[in-house]
């Protein structure tokens, strides 16, 4: 793969955002209390108490595929992921495993182990002897050492190797079957917390600052770029001290970005950041919006991920291009929503939106516009809140419990949403937050609840102009450009990558 500037930007972000900060936990976001509406840049990332993170379902399955091959039959039933601040990766650090989850991980470990024990060619990658013969202590130790190193992302200590090897030999002796002993040994490795959790705690120096170890740094880099465990090359680089310098770390990041797995890792990151997985079950009022078919959400998700992947890996472009590009990837349903010609093929295809189109970039995608809208109407508050929180890292507090958050129905005196949200901006208990969200969201008012373009509402011309922290805009395209130039946009992306 050609190394483009955006790939180098991502590798530098991974260095700056995570590795020299040590093994610290998720940094706090800024919170804007209602009485203090003035904004500044997103605060710097700061260290915090390190926490263990349980592997997400995707990370768990990716790890198994990377260790044992893509043709492994992967577990289906696993402990559900939990979102925190919109990210499953953050939620993974604040949840324990339920009793039912323990059973699911045990079942999964034995199912995988049985497949490998019955798969001589695959098993030979981890041990020199055959399950057709008696497993010697030396062979059992070799399996424990090699597979344990990859699964736990570090070399095993002698006592750990001995414990797993003992399981293998004892079970073999008890059952009279070498394959059964190997099955129990592999399952023991896969059920261990050192596989199920990301152990990135760092070491503390005399001043109290924690720094990730070389192997922990390799693990964090791998989960960032591949959403999976490190490969042998990365583990060896960590042990050789290569990751101790910015140059060595950047070289490994470049190598990993050349791997197809990095595309999957970036897709997972943006799926969480933009909450695109919610599109799979999103529904709109079919009586008001009959075009909102069950297939529209997945198509919208595919569009946004394809555009982001192309910009990051295939174009020599600044990431801010994602906010203003006219290139998009649509199928016939989205083409109808966007008012452009459908692709000549049945599946999705690349399309360039007209130069006079008001739709540009990922904030003009149906994915963003559908997710941040109500069942049948647009929402200035939801769209503005998304921009503040997800793109600028400015956390908006929830409304007071006793405040009515509804807005009036349209009538002759207030036909457009801009007219109706004025109620929020006039109420002192609402204005502090809504004046930070609604003016941004109103910039998207030319798009309805599923992203169709419109110029009027209730026969009144829509005014999509506004201001973002002192920068005026006339429409959604100009606003997207202003977001890309905002002083918090770049730091927020780095912060979210770190988390």
Say if CB 196 and CB 55 are below 8 A apart.
yes
Residue 20 pLDDT more than 60? no
Looking at residue 28, its pLDDT comes to 41
CB atoms within 10 A of CB 32: 20
Looking at residue 56, its pLDDT comes to 94
pLDDT tens sequence across 480-489: 999 999 999 9
Looking at residue 35, its pLDDT comes to 36
Is 168 strand, coil or helix? helix
Looking at residue 33, its pLDDT comes to 41
Domain boundaries, the chain: 5-45+199-259, 53-198, 272-498
Q: How far apart are CA 139 and CA 458, in angstroms?
A: 77
Say if CB 117 and CB 182 are below 8 A apart.
yes
Q: How far apart are CA 118 and CA 131, in angstroms?
A: 8
Residue 8 pLDDT more than 50? no
Question: For a pLDDT cut of 70, what percent of the chain falls above it?
Answer: 88
Looking at residue 459, its pLDDT comes to 87
Q: How far apart are CA 40 and CA 38, in angstroms?
A: 7
| DSSP-assigned letters across all residues of 121-167 | HHHTTT-SS-TTS---HHHHHHHHHHHHHHHHTSPPPHHHHHHHHHH
Residue 271 pLDDT more than 80? yes
Higher pLDDT, 135 or 147: 147
List, in sequence order, every residue forming a beta bridge with 378; answer none if it has no partner.
Answer: 373
Looking at residue 124, its pLDDT comes to 82
Buried b (16+ CB within 10 A) or exposed e, 248-286: ebbebbebbbeeebbbbbbbbbbbbbbbbbbbeebebee
pLDDT tens sequence across 227-241: 999 999 999 999 999
Residue 366 pLDDT more than 80? yes
Average pLDDT over residues 256-274: 94
Looking at residue 32, its pLDDT comes to 42
CB atoms within 10 A of CB 124: 11
Say if CB 392 and CB 488 are below 8 A apart.
yes
Helices 158-175 and 178-191, interaxial angle, to 10°? Answer: 140
pLDDT tens sequence across 47-106: 556 678 999 999 999 999 999 998 999 999 999 998 887 788 788 887 788 999 999 999
pLDDT confidence bin for 26, thresholds 50/70/90: very low
Residue 22 pLDDT more than 50? no
- Longest Cα separation, the chain: 87
Average pLDDT over residues 295-302: 96
Average pLDDT over residues 303-308: 98
Residue 131 pLDDT more than 90? no
Looking at residue 464, its pLDDT comes to 95
| DSSP-assigned letters across all residues of 18-82 | IITT-S--PPPPEE--TT-----SPPPP-------EEPPHHHHHHHHHHHH-TTS------PPP-
Closest CA to 284 of 382, 375, 379, 377: 375
Distance of CA 366 to the CA centre of its chain: 19
């Amino acid at each position: 793969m050609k190394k483009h500037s955006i790939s180098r930007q991502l590798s530098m972000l991974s260095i700056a955002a995570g590795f020299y900060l040590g093994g610290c936990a998720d940094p706090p976001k800024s919170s804007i209390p209602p009485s203090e509406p003035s904004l500044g840049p997103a605060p710097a990332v700061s260290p915090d108490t390190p926490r263990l993170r349980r592997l997400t379902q995707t990370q768990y399955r990716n790890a198994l595929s990377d260790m044992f091959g893509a043709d492994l039959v992967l577990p289906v039933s696993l402990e559900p992921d939990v979102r925190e601040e919109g990210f499953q990766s953050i939620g993974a650090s604040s949840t324990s495993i339920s009793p039912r989850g323990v059973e699911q991980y045990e079942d999964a470990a034995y199912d995988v182990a049985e497949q490998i024990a019955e798969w001589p060619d695959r098993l030979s990658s981890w041990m020199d002897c055959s399950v057709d013969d008696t497993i010697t202590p030396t062979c059992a130790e070799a399996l424990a050492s090699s597979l344990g190193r990859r699964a736990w992302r570090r070399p095993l200590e002698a006592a750990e190797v001995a414990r797993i090897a003992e399981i293998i030999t004892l079970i073999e002796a008890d059952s009279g079957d070498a394959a059964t002993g190997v099955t129990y040994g592999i399952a023991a490795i896969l059920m261990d917390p050192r596989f199920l959790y990301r152990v990135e705690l760092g070491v503390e120096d005399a001043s109290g600052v924690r720094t990730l170890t070389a192997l922990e740094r390799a693990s964090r880099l791998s989960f960032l770029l591949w959403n999976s465990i490190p490969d042998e090359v990365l583990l060896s680089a960590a042990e050789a001290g290569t990751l101790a310098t910015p140059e060595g770390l950047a070289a490994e990041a470049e190598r990993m970005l050349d791997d197809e797995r990095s595309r999957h890792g970036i897709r997972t990151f943006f799926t969480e950041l933009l909450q695109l997985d919610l599109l799979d079950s999103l529904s709109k009022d079919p009586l008001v919006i009959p075009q909102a078919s069950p297939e529209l959400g997945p198509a919208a998700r595919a569009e946004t991920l394809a555009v982001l992947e192309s910009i990051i890996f295939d174009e020599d472009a600044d990431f801010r291009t994602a906010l203003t590009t006219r290139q998009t990837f649509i199928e016939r349903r989205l083409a109808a929503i966007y008012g452009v010609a459908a692709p000549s093929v049945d599946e999705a295809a690349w399309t360039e939106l007209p130069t006079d189109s008001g739709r540009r970039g990922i904030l003009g995608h149906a994915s963003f516009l559908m997710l941040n809208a109500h069942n049948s109407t647009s929402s200035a508050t939801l769209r503005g809140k998304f921009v503040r929180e997800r793109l600028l890292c400015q956390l908006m507090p929830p409304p007071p419990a006793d405040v009515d958050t509804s807005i009036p129905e349209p009538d002759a005196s207030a036909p457009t949403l801009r007219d109706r949200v004025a109620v929020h901006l006039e109420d002192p208990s609402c204005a502090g937050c809504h004046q930070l969200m609604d003016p941004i969201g109103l910039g998207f008012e030319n798009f309805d609840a599923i992203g169709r373009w419109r110029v009027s509402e209730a026969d009144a011309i829509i005014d999509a102009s506004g201001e973002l922290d002192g920068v005026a805009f006339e429409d959604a395209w100009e606003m997207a450009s202003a977001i890309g130039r905002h002083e918090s946009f770049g730091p927020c992306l780095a912060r979210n990558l770190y988390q």
